[in-house]
Amino acid sequence: MLRFERVKIREEEPDNRTKSFTLEPLIEYSNDEATTEASRCIGCNICTQACPASLDIGGYINSTAIGDPAQTVRIVFENLPFPAIIGRVCTHNCEDICVMYDTGGPLAIRHLKRYAADKFDDYSKIMNVKRRGFLNRKVAVIGSGPAGMSTAYYLAIQGVKVTVFEALPVTGGFMRVGIPRYRLPDDVIDKEIRFIQSQGVEVKLNTRVGKDVFFPDIMNDFDAVFIGVGNHRPRMTGTTGSDAENIMHATEFLGKIALGEHVDVGKNVIVIGGGFTANDAARISMRLGANSIKIMYRRRETDRPGYPSTNADEEMEETLSEGIDYMWEVTPFEYVKEGNRIVAIKYWKNEMISDSTGRSKPVPIKEKTFTMDIDFVIEATGQETDFSFLGEDYAKRLKLTPQGHIIVDQSGMTSIPKLFSGGDSTNITRDLISAVRDGDTAVIGILNYLNIMDKVNEEYLPLLDRWKKFSPISAKMSYPDKIK
Ligand SMILES: Cc1cc2nc3c(=O)[nH]c(=O)nc-3n(C[C@H](O)[C@H](O)[C@H](O)COP(=O)(O)OP(=O)(O)OC[C@H]3O[C@@H](n4cnc5c(N)ncnc54)[C@H](O)[C@@H]3O)c2cc1C
Ligand code: SF4
């Protein structure tokens, strides 16, 4: 019998979640739940067009439906070496356009990917990647986030020698030091990075380019270079009183917690911002013992980053259910200090006024001032890329957009020959799956640039813009007698 209703994803109780830094909110599907949910898919693959990394979603939902999670992982790996990570934290735009959206709810595409990936502790048992012998080419990757590590993986399995330079003592970029452990457990990141490293990728931790090694030397020593440095330089508001000791940028705050430090946030915390980072900073504050946490955003609820999408709705639901409040349309203008500590925040309420282009702008109503007592301020007001590692000469030659993103061509190459780039330093979407897609693009670009396309194993090349082509692995599964 046809089943239309989405199989409910069970959740941990919010009271239990807020007592733990590691308890994941969503409970994994059982085998029965996963196959039942996957069986709802009609295989139209429209969702693939909404996936930045162009995964063969219809193909891997099909393999899950027939009880073959190993095949699901293999299909995902065609373009993405992080199935368990993306299966937890992807923005899952694919679900927003699923044709089943109004017929029992969109397929639980993200959750099904997590289900399949979590079945395996070690992907080498199911992947059987036949790595090429050394092709006599060396590539340097700067940054071990999703963009850098995807690039490293797909080059390494083709026989390119890849060295990743990472400033931090840990791998993973914001997967490790941004997104908290209750959304992305350490062992999940470890498993996927370990598999990438097992393909011959060398990672040099605690090695900041521009300080421990120099960019011009890397450009001389390697045949091509990929920049995946993300955006890690905090942008603070500079509100009066910001020089106090109890204020921190959200990425610094989350990074400290991820690396095992404690931060004393007191009981009343204000988070300024409205995206992933604001929500995570608020939810971590709750886990640190705060009991009144407010996220202040200057625009309306419907203007927040990521809205409208099921991801933005789910994120807000989880945050609200953990007891955190949102304050929409407010502008903080002073942190009131006593000595070196902020004790209160002063703010105005805003009204949204349309400008000549029709876009609404928040305008503070300054006649009335509001004041609230607080113990700690976290500013989740964005970051930018720190380009100082390039040195003066290369910095002059690297072309940026007016907003400060690296400009690349269709192959991922920057304005400097042999230098490629991707991820948060380059794209404007600033999410994991777009960073992976940039890595995929750069892999093809680098292999072409190195002039070794005739030596590569096509089966292991990331398949860009899949709807224009077909998936070799799922085609083999659907037509085993026709495709060898
Ligand atoms: C709190 C938070 C929550 C998020 N939640 C989500 C989410 O739920 N879903 C989602 O899709 N996205 C989320 N994101 C965004 C996502 O994490 C990023 O888009 C993604 O990690 C960008 O990947 P990247 O490889 O470009 O850079 P990053 O992941 O930032 O990695 C860059 C790496 O480069 C290293 N580096 C920088 N400079 C140097 C140097 N000079 N030398 C050597 N190494 C260097 C850095 O240390 C870092 O490890 C979140 C981000 C944050 C901060
Ligand atoms: S859009 Fe929905 S029904 Fe169509 S392939 Fe994707 S998951 Fe299946």
Answer whether 57 contacts ligand 2 (Cβ < 6 A). yes
Is the pLDDT score of 480 beyond 70?
no
Q: Which ligand is nearest to the CA of 211?
A: 1
Longest dimension (CA), the chain: 77
The whole-number average pLDDT for the span 454-473 is 82
Q: Are 76 and 70 in contact (CB under 8 A)?
A: no
What is residue 283's three-state secondary structure? Answer: helix
Q: Please name which ligand lies nearest the alpha carbon of 39.
A: 2
Beta bridge partners of 383: 234
Regarding the beta carbon of 435 and ligand 1, being less than 6 Å apart is answered yes
Torsion of CA 37, 72, 173, 315, to 10 degrees: -10
Whole-angstrom Cα distance, residue 225 to residue 94?
Answer: 32
Cβ of residue 182 lying under 6 Å from some atom of ligand 1? no
Select the more confidently predicted residue: 262 or 129: 262
* Ligand 1 atom nearest 315 alpha carbon: 8
pLDDT category of residue 84 using cuts at 50, 70 and 90? very high
Note the pLDDT tens digit of each residue in 141-184. Answer: 999 999 999 999 999 999 999 999 999 999 999 999 999 999 99
Q: Which of 107, 111, 112, 466 gets mutated to test ligand 2 (max ligand atoms within 8 A of its CB)? A: 107
CA–CA gap between residue 177 and residue 169 (Å, rounded):
11
What is the tens place of the pLDDT at every residue in 356-402?
A: 887 889 999 999 999 999 999 999 999 999 999 999 999 999 999 99
Report the distance separating Cα 467 and Cα 228, nearest Å. 27
Average pLDDT of every residue of the chain: 95
Residue 50 near ligand 2, beta carbon < 6 Å: no
41 Cα: distance to centroid of ligand 2 (angstroms): 5
Q: Is the CB of 229 under 6 A from ligand 1?
A: yes
How much is the pLDDT for 472? 58
Q: Would you say the CB of residue 276 lies under 6 angstroms from ligand 1?
A: yes
Which residues is 292 bridged to in the sheet?
A: 268
Q: Is the pLDDT of residue 473 over 70?
A: no
What pLDDT is recorded for position 433? Answer: 98
Ligand 2 mutation target, pool 61, 63, 76, most atoms within 8 A of CB:
61
Ligand 1: centre distance to CA 144 (Å): 9
Task: Please report the pLDDT score of residue 465 as a whole number.
Answer: 86
- pTM for this structure? 0.95
User: 341: buried, middle or exposed (CB in 10 Å: 19+, 13-18, 0-12)?
Assistant: middle
Which helix (H) or strand (E) segment holds residue 324: the answer is none
Our answer on whether the CB atom of 38 is closer than 6 Å to any ligand 2 atom is no
Q: What is the pLDDT of residue 477?
A: 63
Atom 37, ligand 1: residue with shortest CA distance: 229
- Residues 147 and 438: beta-carbon distance below 8 Å: yes
Nearest CA residue ID for atom 41, ligand 1: 209
Residue 100 CA, ligand 2 centroid: distance in Å: 7
pLDDT at 226 over 90: yes
Q: Whose CA is nearest to atom 3 of ligand 1?
A: 179
The pLDDT value recorded for residue 164 is 98
Show the domains of the chain with their CATH numbers.
Answer: 14-127+466-478 (1.10.1060.10), 138-232+387-456 (3.50.50.60), 235-383 (3.50.50.60)
What residues contact 433, with CB distance under 8 A and at least 6 apart? 51, 52, 53, 80, 86, 90, 91
Give the span between the Cα atoms of 283 and 320, in whole angstroms.
10
Cα of 192 from ligand 1 centre, angstroms: 16
Separation of 427 CA from ligand 1 center, angstroms? 12
Is the torsion defined by CA of 325, 329, 335, 336 positive or negative? negative
Residue 316: the pLDDT is: 97
Ligand nearest to C-alpha 430: 1
Q: Does residue 230 have its Cβ closer than 6 Å to ligand 1?
A: yes
State if residue 44 touches ligand 2 by the CB under 6 angstroms criterion.
Answer: yes
The DSSP call for residue 246 is S
Residue 8 pLDDT grade (very low, low, confident, very high; cuts 50, 70, 90): very high
Q: What percent of the chain is predicted at pLDDT more than 90?
A: 92
Tens of pLDDT, residue by residue over 265-288, are 999 999 999 999 999 999 999 999
Q: Which of 6, 37, 47, 474 has the most ligand 2 atoms within 8 A of CB, as the residue to mutate?
A: 47
| 218 Cβ inside 6 Å of ligand 1 | no
Nearest to 45 by CA among 53, 55, 36, 37: 55
Q: Is 151 in the pocket of ligand 1 (CB under 6 A)?
A: no
For residue 285 and ligand 1, the question of a CB distance below 6 A is answered with no
> Token digits for 192?
């996927």
Distance from Cα 77 to the centre of ligand 2, integer Å: 19
Which tokens sit at 362? 């928040």
Q: Please tell me the distance from the alpha carbon of residue 259 to that of residue 100, in angstroms, as a whole number.
A: 41
Q: Output the pLDDT for position 355.
A: 83
pLDDT at 441: 98
The ligand minimizing its distance to the Cα of 148 is 1
**CA-atom Rg of the chain in angstroms:** 23
Query: What is the structure's pLDDT at 481?
Result: 63
Measure the CA–CA gap between 15 and 224, rounded to whole angstroms.
50
Q: 58 C-alpha vs ligand 1 centroid, how far in Å?
A: 29
pLDDT of residue 358: 78
* Ligand 2 neighbourhood includes 241 CB (under 6 angstroms): no
**pLDDT the model gives residue 357:** 81
Using alpha carbons only, give the angle 348, 353, 358 rounded to the nearest 5 degrees: 150
Q: How many CA atoms lie within 13 A of 39 on its CB side?
A: 14
